[in-house]
Amino acid sequence: MTAPRTIGIGILGLGTVGQGVWKHLTEKQTDLESRLGVKLDLRRVAVRDLKKKRAVKVPSTKTTRDPLEVVDDPKVHVVCELIGGTTIARELTLRALRAGKVVVSANKALLCQHGPEIFDAVRRHGGQFLFEASVAGGIPIIKAIREGLVANRFELIVGILNGTCNHILTRMGEDSLSFADALKEAQQLGYAETDPTLDIDGIDAFHKASILAWLAHGKWAPRARTLVEGIRNIGPADIDFARRFGFALKHLAVIRRDFKAGWMTVGVYPALVPNRDILARVSGVNNGITLRGDVVGATTLTGRGAGGDATASAVIGDIVDAIAALTGAANPGLSAESLAAREQLGRQVRMANLDEIVSPFYLRLSLLDKAGVSEGIYRIFSKHKVSIARVIQYEHPNQGRGTVTLSTYPVNEAKMSKVLTELRRLKTVLEEPVVLRIFSPES
């Protein structure tokens, strides 16, 4: 069969995740098409309520209340199941797979409860089931285990897998919000499940842990053999204890494997994590997963674990993989088309000029110990409109010199370079200034 040059995409559900997928697929369509060397046809979107107000505009000719119009459309090759739950979502997923289609899913409950049935349908009918978005939002953890870390056996996988729980615990701990208010906020931000008890009772994290355990060890963990605890009982006193004694209170999923003894354990529960552990610093909606592999050692991935945009990133990654498989492209990231698209992109890019590169700076100056020296220094900063944020002066009695350390507010490289040139000319500056940029991902 010749590979289709136009790939039809159907979306089931236009809620938090569905809208994120629509938004970013339409925004990136041209770029994706040139990378993949195919046309993308965003054909049909199924919703429950056609009249609902949404953040994205989908032409009414493309929306339907009948999800079968999406699944059964012969021109839809990739079906994105973003409805959730395990009833209609199961029926639609199996129907699409039995027609040999690709299903891209964010539905961890469905995969955890019906994984064997789903993969049986994949095997029998030659379709695909891709589920990157089902665990840890935008973090490509499934791909990491399946591909990048394939050389490893994992004795430990430990992670924060529920964004809602982490958001609640962070807001209670850092901002003294009540449990109820923090949960409400997580719901408003689109992090929580339609039924938020799945989040706060640990069931959503269990679904995700079970998927990771299956992926890493080939075994579905039965719920009855898994410790599943949520965060309902956590109160301010618990968070206070953690803070006082050097811990962070986190909701963890822990998958241990003893290769010698042959056992695996899966547990999800709130735990005290020592502050020195990287997971203790994963806050808000972020998720973090540490994998201890026998080859790579410990590797941690962190990033946004819930929300429309982060989850859309994972769904679109799967769509691209699916299209690569459908069209026979070996590696969508490095195909001839994608290299050509990058070259084209590169022609629109220039390197930034020095007056466009901005950051706060730190300086250490070794100065002659004499009245008026500091004023001379500050005059140079003020002449170039560089504002000083903090200053510390160190005196070195009887040495005839002092040290000044200071930080600036954000300033561009060109201005800072002028300040430094003038500082170097001063006889009162005794050594080459030590200059450090104060790094922040935002600047």
Select from 22, 129, 154, 191 the one that contacts ligand HSE (CB under 6 A): 191
Q: How far is the CB of 60 from ligand HSE (least distance, A)?
A: 29
Question: What whole-number distance in Å separates Cα of residue 253 and Cα of residue 8?
Answer: 37
199 binds, among ligand HSE, ligand NAP, none (CB under 5 to 8 A by kind): ligand HSE
Closest residue by beta carbon to ligand NAP: 15
Mask of contacts with ligand NAP, 40-69, x by CB under 6 A?
------xxxx--x--------------x--
DSSP secondary structure letters along 104-152: EE--HHHHHHHHHHHHHHHHHH--EEE-GGGSSTTS-HHHIIIIITTT-
164 binds ligand HSE per the rule CB under 6 A: yes
Q: How far is the CB of 203 from ligand HSE (least distance, A)?
A: 10
199 binds ligand HSE per the rule CB under 6 A: yes
Q: How far is the CB of 365 from ligand NAP (least distance, A)?
A: 49
Mask of contacts with ligand NAP, 103-122, x by CB under 6 A?
---xx---------------
342 binds, among ligand HSE, ligand NAP, none (CB under 5 to 8 A by kind): none
46 within 8 A of 9, measured Cβ to Cβ: no
Provide the CA 375 distance to its chain's centre, in angstroms: 48
How many Å from the N-terminal Cα to the C-terminal Cα in the chain?
51
Which CA distances in Å does 247 have to 176, 234, 278, 288? 17, 15, 11, 16
Question: What whole-number distance in Å separates Cα of residue 241 and Cα of residue 390?
Answer: 34
47 binds, among ligand NAP, ligand HSE, none (CB under 5 to 8 A by kind): ligand NAP
283 binds ligand HSE per the rule CB under 6 A: no
Coil, strand, or helix at residue 156? Answer: strand
Q: Segment 13-32, which members bind ligand NAP (CB under 6 A)?
A: 13-18
Residue numbers annotated as active site? 208
290 binds ligand NAP per the rule CB under 6 A: no
16 binds, among ligand HSE, ligand NAP, none (CB under 5 to 8 A by kind): ligand NAP
Q: Which helix (H) or strand (E) holds 421?
A: helix 413-425
How many CB atoms lie under 10 A from the CB of residue 98?
A: 14
Q: To 10 degrees, the CA torsion angle through 416, 419, 421, 423?
A: -130
Q: How far is the CB of 324 from ligand HSE (least distance, A)?
A: 25
206 binds ligand HSE per the rule CB under 6 A: no
Question: What whole-number distance in Å separates Cα of residue 364 and Cα of residue 57?
Answer: 54
Select from 192, 209, 280, 315 the one that contacts ligand HSE (CB under 6 A): 192
Strand partners for 40: 7
Q: How far is the CB of 2 from ligand HSE (least distance, A)?
A: 37
Question: What whole-number distance in Å separates Cα of residue 72 and Cα of residue 61?
Answer: 17
193 binds ligand NAP per the rule CB under 6 A: yes
Question: What whole-number distance in Å separates Cα of residue 120 and Cα of residue 13?
Answer: 24
Select from 38, 71, 82, 249 the one that contacts ligand NAP (CB under 6 A): 82
Residues that bind ligand HSE (CB under 6 A): 137, 162-164, 191-193, 199, 204, 305-306
